[in-house]
Amino acid sequence: MAKDQIQVLNALDVAKTQWYHFTAIIIAGMGFFTDAYDLFCVSLVTKLLGRIYYHVDGAAKPGTLPPNVSAAVNGVAFIGTLSGQLFFGWLGDKLGRKKVYGMTLMIMVICSIGSGLSFGHTPETVMATLCFFRFWLGFGIGGDYPLSATIMSEYSNKKTRGAFIAAVFAMQGFGILAGGIFAIIIASIFKAKFDSPSYAVDPLGSTVPQADFVWRIIVIVGAFPAALTYYWRMKMPETARYTALVAKNTAQAAADMSKVLQVEIQAEPEEEVKEKYGLFTKEFLSRHGLHLLGTTSTWFLLDIAFYSQNLFQKDIFSAIGWIPPAQTMNALEEVYKIARAQTLIALCSTVPGYWFTVALIDRIGRFKIQLMGFFFMTVFMFALAIPYDHWTHKDNRIGFVVLYSLTFFFANFGPNATTFVVPAEIFPARFRSTCHGISSATGKLGAIVGAFGFLYLAQNPDKSKADAGYPAGIGVKNSLIVLGVVNILGFLFTFLVPEANGKSLEEMSGENEEEEVGSKDVEKSHANNNGTVTHI
């Protein structure tokens, strides 16, 4: 029989939902708000940067970022995020969640402002400065993944833990909406004040000098909501699970949680236990090896599909007439129309998907939601791919948009949320942040494959019809079929992930059993010592 749970941890597990749970969601979720805001805005910003810094006299279309520059602006943020996930995931287990939590937020705030202040006399120097700050912005955002998930899971009660962790992740939805709405407002204000003709009428005059302020303001403003929560992050006590199970200070854990829960919790005497197994050991591999394979593989496969879908947005928006050809608009009008189109997609499919997960994850469980999400993503991907020629006809474009939106909905009401939740629940406290960092970093590797691999893969098989600077690919239809197969693999690998619904973190991670084994070993050792006779 497993050892009884430490009293302070049991108090957290059975605690009623209180105000501190909701404040923790806001405080922990602000990193994801900034993450989504930045990701959303970069697509707007890259269009504007192309017009401002890469204008070509006499060209039929407005300037665009060269493929290598575009890849750098997007890629450095991904690489920074991946690095931050691994580094801060490890650091969160070594130093404690609280000690490094403020660090990640400060990096995000400073680098968001730095990105907006990117300086230089030439396009190359502006892009180099922007890439530098975007790498470190990604580094801070990456650190927020394991720390926010771990802190929220360790603060939550077991009845609503899934919803609380998912709600932190769902703050991304508000970040997307805030980015879209703010971009629409700023573009409208500048357009009213500094109106200009379309590119077709006046190529140089269509991009007013003040447009350079627009992208900078949009990028910098993303830092302020995160900065506002810095004080409260610093005020949060260390999680009781880290203090009791890793730092081995149950008295401090009881004192901290007594204040948070506003109930008296008695500290328990410290017990001597044997040294526990490490992360890179056979014991960890036998207990949690398949779990780690399950969380890493599903997140990797999900992000390949999720991030590659963004590639088709510009074609879809143009096809249904939401975004007219670039040459028929001026620079500020293009920012306004892209922001409006992306905000509508987010409002109709992305954001509702997140909150469906929050509402239902503790009722139907993580496992079922993830399986269902991968299943429907596969169905809709094949429904787009197999009759792809049918969808290209003008009369059928609305159907294409509906199916495309549904894939996003079931990604968010599915594996995009659950892959974030599960790694924060199933590993022991001393590895929890590290294992979440490893899982999320593997996911970000999938995002790099999805965003860049499919950028090349989805090009027209005819080299002459491929985008400028790109080699021939396999085409959109075949790319969608490949993505359908990726989702099938995600469905299959989900079977390696255990269901954590309604169970305590210690029950899921096996830490109660470890304590029991450790206690027995100590008792046996004392008995042997007491029974020893010294012979002379």
Phi, psi of 247 (to 5 degrees): -80, -15
Largest Cα span, the chain: 107
- What is the C-alpha to C-alpha distance for residues 43 and 17, in angstroms, rounded to an integer? 39
Number of other residues whose CB lies within 10 A of the CB of residue 413? 25
Cβ proximity of 243 and 253 under 8 Å = yes
**Residue 231: Cβ within 10 Å count:** 10
Look up tokens 């403020």; give the residue. 102
Contact 118, 126 (CB under 8 A): yes
Q: Are 198 and 328 spatial neighbours (Cβ–Cβ below 8 Å)?
A: yes
Q: With a cut of 70, which residues of the chain have pLDDT below it?
A: 1-5, 266-275, 310-316, 318-320, 466-469, 512, 514-536
Residues 6+ apart with CB under 8 A from 238: 96, 97, 98, 99, 247, 252, 256
Distance (Å, rounded) from C-alpha 265 to C-alpha 255? 7
173 with 119: CB under 8 angstroms? Answer: no
Helix (H, G, I), strand (E, B) or coil at 241: helix
Give the per-residue pLDDT at 31: 83
Q: DSSP letters of 304-322?
A: HHHHHHGGGHHHHHHHTTS
Q: How far apart are CA 288 and CA 510, in angstroms?
A: 10
Which residue do the tokens 């968010």 mark?
A: 412
> Coil, strand, or helix at residue 55?
coil
Residue pair 513/349 in contact (Cβ under 8 Å)? The answer is: no
Using an 8 Å Cβ cutoff, are 342 and 187 in contact? no
CA 358/CA 353 separation, integer angstroms: 9
CA atoms within 13 A on the CB side of 112: 28
Tell me the C-alpha distance between 384 and 312, whole Å. 12
Report the SS3 class of residue 443. Answer: helix
Six-digit token pair at 145?
A: 């993944």
* Cβ contact 340:187 at 8 Å: no
Packing angle, helices 331-345 and 19-53, rounded to 10? 150
The string of pLDDT tens digits covering residues 147-166 is 999 999 998 888 899 999 99
Residue 10, classified by CB atoms within 10 Å of its CB into exposed (0-12), middle (13-18) or buried (19+), is middle
Q: Which residue has the tokens 């508000």?
A: 174
pLDDT at 316: 65
What residue ranges in 34-188 does DSSP mark as E strands? none
Residue range 237-292, pLDDT digits in tens: 888 888 888 888 888 888 888 877 777 776 666 665 566 788 888 998 999 999 99
CA distance 358 to 279: 31
Q: Residue 216's closest CA among 68, 63, 41?
A: 41
The reported pLDDT for the residue numbered 3 is 52
Residue 469, sorted as left (phi over 0), alpha (psi -120 to 50) or beta, turns out to be left
Q: Which 8-state DSSP code applies to residue 236?
A: S
State the CB neighbour count (10 A cutoff) for residue 189: 13
d(CA 233, CA 108): 14
**CA torsion angle 248 252 258 260 (round to 10):** -90
Residues in the chain: 536
DSSP string of 265-309, one letter each residue: -PPPPP---PPPP-TTSHHHHHHHHHHHHHHHHHHHHHHHHHHHH
Three-point CA angle 9, 15, 19, nearest 5°: 120
pLDDT score, position 527:
47
Kindly tell me the burial class for residue 368, based on how many C-beta atoms sit within 10 Å of its own C-beta (0-12, 13-18, 19 or more).
middle
Decide: pTM greater than 0.75: yes
How many of the other CB atoms lie within 10 Å of CB of 193?
Answer: 10
> 451 and 39 in contact (C-beta within 8 Å)?
no
Q: What is the pLDDT of residues 66-93, one digit of tens each?
A: 888 888 888 899 999 999 999 999 999 9
- Position 494, amino acid: T
- Residue corresponding to tokens 């990797």: 300
Instruction: Measure CA of the first residue to CA of the last residue in the chain; give whole Å.
Output: 42
Neighbour-count burial of 494, counting CB atoms closer than 10 A to its CB (0-12 exposed, 13-18 middle, 19+ buried): buried
3-state secondary structure of 533: coil
